[in-house]
Amino acid sequence: MDRSGDLGAVVDLLGDWTVSRAPLYRKLARALERAIRAGDLRAGERLPSERELAQRLAISRATVVAAYDELRGSGMIDSQRGSGTRVTAAVRPRTLAADGRVPGGRATSIFQRMVDGPSELISLAMTIEPAVPELGDAVRELVRTDLPDLLADIGYHPRGFPPLRRAVADYYTAAELPTAADQVLVTTGAQQVMGLVAQMYLRPGCAVVVESPSWPGFLDLFRAAGARLVGVPLDEEGIRPDLLAQAFAEHQPVLLYVMPTYHNPTGTLMSAARRKRVAELCVRFNVSLLEDHAYATSSSCGGSVPPPIAAFAPPAAEVLTVGSLAKAVWAGLRIGWARGPGEIIERLARYKVRADLGTPVLDQALAARLLPDIGEIARARAGILQSRMDHLRELLTEHLPSWRWRSPDGGSALWVELPDTNAQVFAQVALRHGVEVVAGSSTDPTGAHDNYVRLPCSFPIEVLTELVGRLSRAWLELQRHGPATGLMQPII
């Protein structure tokens, strides 16, 4: 992807570049060098001007000038009047030696944090919690009663372990979406479903309509397949149908991707009427629909949830409904699934078998035990999330009263608007105070949410208290002093 002129994408590549002990200009030079050597910034690509990059990173222009001087001295970049600063053609990306960095994209910092693991930073890149107690009970019961039969099993089930496929079918049938087992494909997490869908549907230059904002990890995945992303805003009931119809007519997309139940990052619950309207538009314009319900079984708020959009669509409609146990049970239980028309599921299974021959059977057997009780499990976790959400809102109201948010319908995070402030700029200041913030620009490339950040409430109460303390100190620094002088060390 050519990032020339895309200041936000270049900043995303830097990651947590300030968290080390070295002069600030040298840390910046090293981060840019990593991106160049990894091939994320390619030969000939133009870097932002010193002034632009300094403003976005909330540092002095002199710091960027010094970093660029160091890179010029090592032959990584060159500058010409009228052409700007570019990566030199002589630099060859490293293809054999790993540098420890996740390849570039707007979700780079999210996936990098998974690879790096825990640190002294409070990272807002993920909402991760320990496993629910029921998982331990299920493991012990599985070993006690079912292990010999499972170990005698062939072990290869490309479409999914039959008992789990039946359990998923029963789960949707109970949710007013009649489903047979042959309409279910089990995958290694919801992330794999998205990858398989991208392989099956997307070709370079095709259009995919997404909600604006949306989850950056999947936006990167669609972009990597060569798709053009068309964003459609939301209102309090979900994606706007008037603008959705307009996007369908103008761009003729092959796919619509939505999160109807506790949308990430806004926490919006799409109404039943809106789900019906979206289904009608997909049929009218012959657009395949991918509905992601990863948060459907994990909510911090009560209330009833309408059936999936597929329940409002005619049987012939091409709707894939995606689910997962990562949020409700444990992220380490890598079990996801797709529900759809039998012939579409069969085609998707062919891509799945080429990917990994099948999801681990022991994990699937555990999921089959847990899924019938998922409602009760989710309600118990929701009570914990609700108390943490209340605590987070109280802290923000007290310490950051100028920040604004809409109370989410569900989910585990607040979508917060920063007044008159680019969130990427604030993220750089927050990083120096020990908080990794994911700026709204990674969720929406149009720029409409550049002043938003997502604040998960899934941390323990004491971590939430420390988090807001660090954020308030970073906010005070930015409001009082603006960009750093270039001498500041990280405060961890």
Tell me the average confidence (pLDDT) per consecutive run of 10 residues in the chain, 492 residues long: 63 84 90 90 92 91 94 91 86 56 53 54 86 96 95 95 98 97 97 96 97 94 96 97 98 98 96 97 97 76 83 91 94 96 96 95 97 93 92 98 95 95 94 93 90 95 97 95 47 30
Q: State how beta strands 122-123 and 435-436 pair.
A: parallel
Tokens 């680019």 sit on residue:
422
> Could you say which DSSP state residue 149 is in?
H
| In 286-356, alpha helices (H) | 342-356
Locate the domains of the chain by residue range: 7-87, 108-130+384-481, 133-375
Contact between residue 216 and residue 349 where contact means Cβ atoms under 8 Å apart: no
Contact between residue 381 and residue 410 where contact means Cβ atoms under 8 Å apart: no
What pLDDT was estimated at residue 490? 34
Tokens of 383: 């009570």
| Helix pair angle (216-224, 108-116), 10° resolution | 110
CATH topology of domain 108-130+384-481: Aspartate Aminotransferase, domain 1 (3.90.1150)
Cis peptide bond prior to 315, omega within 30° of 0: no
Tokens 């979508």 sit on residue:
415
Q: Do domains 7-87 and 108-130+384-481 have the same CATH topology?
A: no
Tokens of 229: 């992303």
In Å, how far from its chain's centre is CA 48? 26
Tokens of 123: 């990272």
What pLDDT was estimated at residue 180? 98
What pLDDT was estimated at residue 485? 44
Using CA atoms, how far residue 430 sits from 16, 299, 414, in Å, is 10, 28, 17
Q: What angle do CA 160, 326, 343 make, to 5 degrees?
A: 35
DSSP 77-130: EEEETTTEEEE-TT----SSS--S-PPPSTTHHHHHHHHH---SSEE-S----P
- Length of the chain (residues): 492
**In CATH, which of 3.50.50.60, 3.40.640.10, 3.30.360.10, 3.40.50.300 is domain 133-375?**
3.40.640.10
Three-state SS for 247?
helix
- Residue 151's φ and ψ, nearest 5 degrees, are -70, -20
Going by CATH, does the domain composed of 7-87 fall within 1.10.3720.10? no
What pLDDT was estimated at residue 105? 55
Cis peptide bond prior to 48, omega within 30° of 0: no
How far apart CA 442 and CA 437 sit, in angstroms, is: 11
In Å, how far from its chain's centre is CA 485? 33
How far apart CA 87 and CA 65 sit, in angstroms, is: 15
Helix (H) or strand (E) holding 184: strand 184-187
How far apart CA 129 and CA 131 sit, in angstroms, is: 7
Three-state SS for 287?
coil
Percent helix, strand, coil in the chain (nearest 5)? Answer: 45, 15, 40
Sheet holding 238-239, edge to edge: 184-187, 336-339, 319-324, 288-292, 255-258, 207-212, 228-235, 238-239
| Helix pair angle (361-370, 133-145), 10° resolution | 120
Q: State how beta strands 207-212 and 255-258 pair.
A: parallel
